[in-house]
Amino acid sequence: MKITFSDLAIPKTGAVIAFATEGADLMPSAVALDEATGGAITKAIKASTFKGKSGQSLQVLAPANVDLSRVIIFGIGKEAEFDVIAAQKLGGSVTARALSTGEKELSVLFDMENLACDFATGAMLRDYRFDKYRTTETKEDKPVLKAFDIATRDHKDAKKQFESAKKVVEGVFFTRDLVSEPANILYPESFAKEVSALEKLGVEIDVLDEKEMKKLGMGALLGVAMGSARKPAMVVMRWNGGKKKDAPIAFVGKGVTFDTGGISIKPAAGMEDMKWDMGGAGVVSGLMKALAGRKAKCNVVAVLGLVENMPSSTAQRPGDVVTSMSGQTIEVINTDAEGRLVLCDALTYVQEKYDPRLIVDLATLTGAVIIALGHENAGLFSNNDDLATQITTAGLSVDEGVWRLPLSPAYDKQLKSDIADMKNVGGRPAGSITAAQFLKRFITKDRPWAHLDIAAMAWSTADKEVVPKGGTGFGVRLLDRFVADNYES
């Protein structure tokens, strides 16, 4: 869908969206539209239950005195409470409604010009659709909306703002595409090829193969990959947008392109969802696309640990001991706790190779975090209060919530092994916390570090205002804002 901006004026033809505040008070442009239709909107409001509350809408088909096909009035609630997040959600709601009308073009009379970019951002986010494998869908089932014009004052400024915001949304879409792909299409090698497209934006990319990882001693990551015919890979991406002397910010993503659980195999029901166990790597990839797309003024290094976790005669077994790149040994109690084994070697690699100023890792790591937080927030763990606050604040600003959970040496006893430096699981109690406590053991020099467990947030089973059902892209906008607000020169 093409989104454009224009002067605030009532169009002569087509479908039009306008707005009312709580109490069914029409916004100024809606008042002008009502006058042009001979009061058709006011009459419709009086004959309905429409009160202008957020989420309410009212449609007037083929109103008199004009050549418009339809007018839809959306409620925005209390004007004083209409902010950035509300504008984005409204843009998504308007798009969702417009997609069901059969209209090819839509004009929006938007009086709140300072929020026009945010409205457009929400509209674009909601327009996403992953349909590359649909071959028998009827024409009637396909959305036909192609053009979305936002008429507002200072439209040139809104257009300029949106050019940058659009790059971030494109990063979200890249993540959604990756997460949506089936595992027979997206596996470590093909994932690396998909990411290589970012080189066109100026991202430097290296791919480490199995032989190189063996030489580096990545026994934890390679142990996960042992059961699969698909060879593992580690993708390293660098965006050099800051000063040459500045140490980079590091992002690390878990990329298990399919997770059967290995020998500790998962139940069959719902296993198809495990195609998105590479969600952390997907978010990091989308973030790099966003940062490079908008030419972020900072240095960033990103590492993706890409493996497939399969059961076979060559798969690692419960009870095996592996040696991580850091030299620490791990007793593998449960082969379905594989993400932390992938991440620990990726964390060691990025620290030894690039000595970053801070690290944020992302992973669909534990089911326990879903039990703790539901599907409303990602779990946040950090060894640094300032870093945790920065991430939390960034999440609030883009409506991607995180909730900080504790780290404490008290949990370490659950990871104690009788034969190695640690076990890879600590049992059912505090499962997401002990997973984070495991990762913390691989952070050196008291380096600021945060771990985001996005298991509950990478995929949605229902449509939301700015997120269609499916891959969400959660984390791309959050971390882009985190970088923009705190680390750009």
What is the residue extent of each domain of the chain? Answer: 2-154, 167-486
Whose CA is closest to 113, among 87, 92, 138? 87
- d(Cα 117, Cα 119) in Å, to the nearest integer? 5
- Verify whether residue 266 is a known catalytic residue: yes
The tokens describing 156, both together, are 């040139």
Q: What is the pLDDT of residue 66?
A: 93
Catalytic one of 53, 238, 266, 404: 266
Comparing 2-154 with 167-486, is the CATH topology the same? no
Best CA proximity match to 365, nearest among 340, 331, 391: 340
Q: Verify whether residue 353 is a known catalytic residue.
A: no
The predicted structure's pLDDT at residue 405: 98
Q: pLDDT tens digits, the chain, 489 residues: what are they?
A: 899 999 999 999 999 999 999 999 999 999 999 999 999 999 999 999 999 999 999 999 999 999 999 999 999 999 999 999 999 999 999 999 999 888 999 999 999 999 999 999 999 999 999 999 998 888 777 888 999 999 999 999 999 999 999 999 999 999 999 999 999 999 999 999 999 999 999 999 999 999 999 999 999 999 999 999 999 999 999 999 999 999 999 999 999 999 999 999 999 999 999 999 999 999 999 999 999 999 999 999 999 999 999 999 999 999 999 999 999 999 999 999 999 999 999 999 999 999 999 999 999 999 999 999 999 999 999 999 999 999 999 999 999 999 999 999 999 999 999 999 999 999 999 999 999 999 999 999 999 999 999 999 999 999 999 999 999 999 999 999 999 999 997
- Which pLDDT does position 460 carry in this prediction? 96
SS3 string, the chain, reads: CEEEEECCCCCCEEEEEEEEECCCEECHHHHHHHHHCCCHHHHHHHCCCCCCCCCCEEEEECCCCCEEEEEEEEECCCHHHCCHHHHHHHHHHHHHHHHCCCCCEEEEECCCHHHHHHHHHHHHHHCCCCCCCCCCCCHHHCCCCCEEEEECCCHHHHHHHHHHHHHHHHHHHHHHHHHHCCCCCCCHHHHHHHHHHHHHHCCEEEEECHHHHHHHCCHHHHHHHCCCCCCCEEEEEEEECCCCCCCCEEEEEEEEEEECCCCCCCCCCCHHHHHHHHHHHHHHHHHHHHHHHCCCCCEEEEEEEEEEECCCCCCCCCCCEEECCCCCEEECCCCCCCHHHHHHHHHHHHHHHHCCCEEEEEECCCCHHHHHHCCCCEEEEECCHHHHHHHHHHHHHHCCCEEECCCCHHHHHHHCCCCCCEECCCCCCCHHHHHHHHHHCCCCCCCCEEEEECCCCCEECCCCCCCCCEECCCCHHHHHHHHHHHCCC
Selected catalytic residue, list 176, 340, 423, 441: 340
CATH 3.40.630.10, domain 167-486, yes or no: yes
Rounded Cα distance between 290 and 268, Å, is: 36
What does the CA dihedral 214, 216, 218, 222 come to, rounded to 10 degrees? Answer: -20
- Structure tokens belonging to residue 427: 């049992």
Q: Which CATH superfamily is domain 2-154 in?
A: Leucine Aminopeptidase, subunit E, domain 1 (3.40.220.10)
> What strands, in cross-sheet order, belong to the sheet with 422-423?
321-323, 329-331, 422-423
